Amino acid sequence: MRHLITQFAEQKNCLIGIADPNPIPGVRERLEQTETPFAPKPPMRKLSPADYLPDVKSVIVLGASYAPPCAEVSSIIARPGEPYTGLISSMALSPDYHRTVRALLIELAGLISAPHYKILVDSGGPVEREWAVKAGLGFWGKNCCVISPSNKGSFFNIGLLLTDLALPASQPGDMDGCGTCTRCLEACPGKALEPFRLNYKNCVSYITQKNGELSAEEQRIMGKQIYFCDICQRVCPYNEGVAPEQVKVSLTGLMNMTEDTFGQTCVYTAMNWKGFKILKRNAATVFNTIYKWG
Ligand code: SF4
Ligand code: SF4
């Protein structure tokens, strides 16, 4: 069984590890003390794999590298000489990982003939990154990402396959891989990072997804970022040579976009979740901050 999983990981260019399903110590307490957006806190948030599959015996954790941008988004990519441009993280332009990672896990469940299984891709309570460390995909970085010390860095999305198959667990990835490095803390435009802690309210990834009006400070922190931000990953030495490009997009193209065009262009991407108005607001914000008001 183990060799099938290893072969699958090699064929799909993924990271895969296995963890026992026992709850991870300290996670509940950490979540209770941490403000997190877009997710409920315990006890509303159910953290244990057994809450999702009562006879669970193993948690298979898969890390899939970011996919290239969808073909449909080519119309918003800046042409050479475009005067007004902003930046979008490649993950926002790729096919939505919730679907691509789920598809990979469905394929894997079929391959190992899992009698009962449950797939969680940002769709349940367990904290995927905690399980990724437990299953040995990588270590916790000071930038709050899971970093693979092999050649994968941190640019991967995580999904969980809970199964009632009993599989041997992988060695956890709980090493200190950062040492004295502080590059990510220094580079963060919102100064949102302390080692291993994120103040999400100052994080561009959150700001570019939140509803409502943005404060002057939030607009300043965004800089040229229209959607998501991965600066703290880009500067990380473990990502040298594996960081996907930030994509330069046309601000005028985005500001003139209609809802229909948004549907055709962004329907397969993660940006579809927050919708048309948020993307247009962000494009107008970057235009006003960087170009109009200087
Ligand atoms: S994603 Fe950007 S804003 Fe958020 S912590 Fe990383 S560098 Fe800071
Ligand atoms: S940039 Fe340095 S401190 Fe930050 S996660 Fe990477 S190795 Fe760790």
CA angle 246, 252, 256 (to 5 degrees): 120
Which position among 20, 51, 122, 164 bears the catalytic label?
A: 122
Pairing mode, strands 14-19 and 58-65: antiparallel
Ligand 2 centroid–CA 155 distance in Å is: 13
Asked if the model's pLDDT at residue 35 lies above 80, the reply is no
Q: Residue 103: helix, strand or coil by DSSP?
A: helix
The predicted-structure confidence for 98-126, as pLDDT tens digits, reads as follows: 999 999 999 999 999 999 999 999 887 88
Residue with the two structure tokens 């959607």: 227
Whole-number pLDDT of residue 63: 97
Inter-CA distances, 59 with 78, 108, 159, 264, 279, Å: 42, 13, 10, 36, 36
CA angle 161, 164, 167 (to 5 degrees): 80
Is 162:117 a contact under the CB 8 Å cutoff? yes
Whole-number pLDDT of residue 37: 73
Pairing mode, strands 85-88 and 225-227: parallel
The predicted-structure confidence for 233-257, as pLDDT tens digits, reads as follows: 999 999 999 999 889 999 999 999 9
Average pLDDT, the chain: 92
Percent pLDDT > 70 in the chain is 97
Domain coordinates of the chain in residue numbers?
A: 2-66+95-163, 71-92+180-292
> What's the CA gap between 70 and 86, in Å, rounded?
18
Is 285:214 a contact under the CB 8 Å cutoff? yes
Letter for the amino acid at 166?
Answer: A
- Whether the CB of 54 sits within 6 Å of ligand 2: no
Asked if the model's pLDDT at residue 43 lies above 70, the reply is no
Query: Is residue 164 annotated as a catalytic residue, yes or no?
Result: no
Percent pLDDT > 90 in the chain is 79
The predicted-structure confidence for 67-90, as pLDDT tens digits, reads as follows: 889 999 998 999 999 999 999 998
Residue with the two structure tokens 């901050």: 289
